[in-house]
Amino acid sequence: MIENLLKNLNDKQIEAVKETEGYVRVIAGAGSGKTKALTTRYAYIVECLGINSANILCVTFTNKAAEEMRRRVKAIIGIKSDVSLITTYHGFCSKFLREEIYKINYPKNFIILDIEDQKSILREVYAELNLTSKDKTFKQALREISIKKNHANYLDFILGNKKFNTYTDIDKVFHAYLIKQKKNFALDFDDLLNYVLFILDNNKDVLTKWQNRIHYIQVDETQDSSIKQFLLIELLARINKNLFIVGDPDQAIYEWRGAIPEILVNFDKKFTNAKTILMNQNYRSTPNILKLGNHIIRNNKIRVEKDMFTQNQQGVDVVHFHGQNETDEALWVINEIKELHRNEGVKYSDFAILYRANHVSRSIEQILIKENIPYVIYGGTRFFERKEIKDILAYLRLIHIGDDLSFQRVINHPARGLGNKFVEKISKYAKMDNTTLLIALQKNIEQQELNRIGAIDFLNLISGFQSSSKNKSISDLVNEILEKSGLNDYYIADGDTDRLENIQEFVNSIILVEKKEGDELNLQDYLQEISLYTDMDLKDDKIEKVKLMTIHTSKGLEFPYVFLCGFSEGILPNAMAIKDRKNRGIEEERRLAYVAITRAEKKFYMTESEGYNFNTSTSKLPSRFLFELDEAFYIRKGELNQDIIDEAKEFVKRETEKSTEVIQLIVGDMIKHPVWGKGKIIEVNSEKEEYIIEFLSIEKIKPISFSFKLLQKIDLSVSD
């Protein structure tokens, strides 16, 4: 059994698989087979150590990665094995809360809000507070709500009934938002982790129960973990002390949303008895491509020293192209694709065009359309956030949960003559009875102002669906909803064939899940799972289309031929990232370049062009990262004269000197203000050129301008 399990693994992978006890860190470079090592180690613990799979927690970052890992593990240990704890952080939190949320008097069928649900709540809040998007956009409000949830003890208000002080408009919005959340027993993504930590912190019996249940923990992509996420993992590992973390600091590209690469980098300092295993053999790329990546990333400071190597054949040269303008750049890229497709038989689906900013794709798309080359853009509206899918999910949620958000979405969709004024009338009864809108309508349907044919038909419709949900499969129920609600006719009349195709794809996706799960799949489990599913990718990777996507979207993927376009100063590295976070920003941008390079299997191209750069308000110049590479590592095409090279190097030198003249503050820094004393930087807003600071003495959050010269950075290593 052991020999078969370890077959086709290299020495470092075998070492990682067999190192099952204690604290272990694996630095797994791009294309080094980390998923293979992770899944084999999981199977090894089950098959060779005899541990029940229900006692192993394996956390990864996307639903797609978790699903792939579950598939691989089941292929080894058997399809009937319980691999439900191979999941994401949000997935684990959802599973935990369904079991433990009763501790805070919430029902286990609580709602998980996505962005559209949050916006629906904000619409109500804004109406009640007489606010408009001119006061603050929903995007701004949601960002500030997220900041408050990460830095303020809002759970004391929701769960402890403590007083909530409102000083500003955003305080009032936050307060009203929390009240509506609580009424609907609704949690957004920030809440999931916060509620779990709250329950563990306040219920020692629950903490001990889960610590004893989970004997082994594996964490994938650890460089992308936040402090709170890792705190959860570290808490759960304290009894059995078997924590295995895998990641690559050189691919940490999510600091802007709270990831802390130092968690991985300094793991051996926190756990001094930890063992480190270096997996640096790459199975994906040619030596030419790896050489390029190694030489760019070694300029970073926040990393664990390693050079990737491969036994793959040398391959072809890396190419840099300099265009006279964006059209010239796009034409060259598309001509290269056409030539390889025509002369060497390379499939369109083998090409990926990556970029740091979405606007770079504009000129490329124009040429692709003109040349009649099929392409697909990854990273648009996520599939489960599309309007037509949200409509169906709202019906399913209303059938099962009866929440207000779903009720408001479908009560008049398709139109039944039950508009906003009718919903306001129901709301009055709901407030009087302290109940949901659906129950309020059911109880008061005989009232003259509510007793309409449309309302009676709607209640009968929902009641019929609820009866069907008890004996029909979810896919059959969805088809019934589409037919009887009028949604099918609505979208047919609308004439939007894309929406109809998306609906059919949605039904097909449910059928696939039903085939996998069999009779075990119920509506509650499906709704919980789907609310966490944020992969936009129901597209078939095998279709014959050139793939366009941002570097962030490409993370974890690989392609035979990769073009990195828009390799210009201000785009990559991004000017705002540098302005916001100075050296940390530059390091993360360099990691993005490294991620782009290491997506390529056979050939890698980097292209940029002249013109006007809106990011820097200057002429476009090649990226500083290009000049960190020895010209022996690539061949150049396109005419790049020495004047432009000199100007680019001078620009970087000037910007570097300028940035050292001012105080450099990043999220997490402690400062001292001449009036309000000590504070903590919780956000850097480059758009408004201000720091968002939480001041400890006054317990308030204040925006302080970048230009304010009287802030002093506090060195935490020196005591007062």
Annotated catalytic residues are 34-35, 220-221, 251, 599
DSSP string, 584-620: HHHHHHHHHHHHHHTTEEEEEEEEEE-SEETTTTEE-
Half-sphere exposure of 508 (CA within 13 A, CB side): 8
Distance CA 496, CA 643 (A): 52
Helices 189-202 and 227-236, packing angle to 10 deg: 40
Judge contact between 243 and 59, C-beta under 8 A. no
Distance CA 169, CA 174 (A): 9
First vs last Cα of the chain: how many Å apart? 60
* Paired strand residues for 24: 244, 275
Q: Rounded to the nearest 5°, which phi and psi values hold at 432? A: -60, -40
3-state secondary structure at position 106: coil
Instruction: Tell me how far CA of residue 48 lies from CA of 18, 33, 42, 45, in angstroms.
Output: 10, 21, 10, 6
Q: Which two tokens stand for residue 637?
A: 């095409």
Say which residues have a Cβ less than 8 Å from residue 495's Cβ, sequence separation at least 6. Answer: none
Judge contact between 285 and 601, C-beta under 8 A. yes
3-state secondary structure at position 288: helix
* Paired strand residues for 323: 609
Q: Rounded to the nearest 5°, which phi and psi values hold at 433? A: -95, -5
Specify burial of residue 653 (Cβ count, 10 A radius: 0-12, 13-18, 19+).
exposed
Beta-strand pair 634-637/670-673: unpaired
Distance CA 514, CA 526 (A): 10
Give the helix/strand (H/E) hosting 377. Answer: strand 375-377
Cα angle for residues 510, 514, 519 (degrees, 5° grid) = 145
Helices 11-18 and 34-47, packing angle to 10 deg: 40
Residue found under tokens 């302005």 = 579
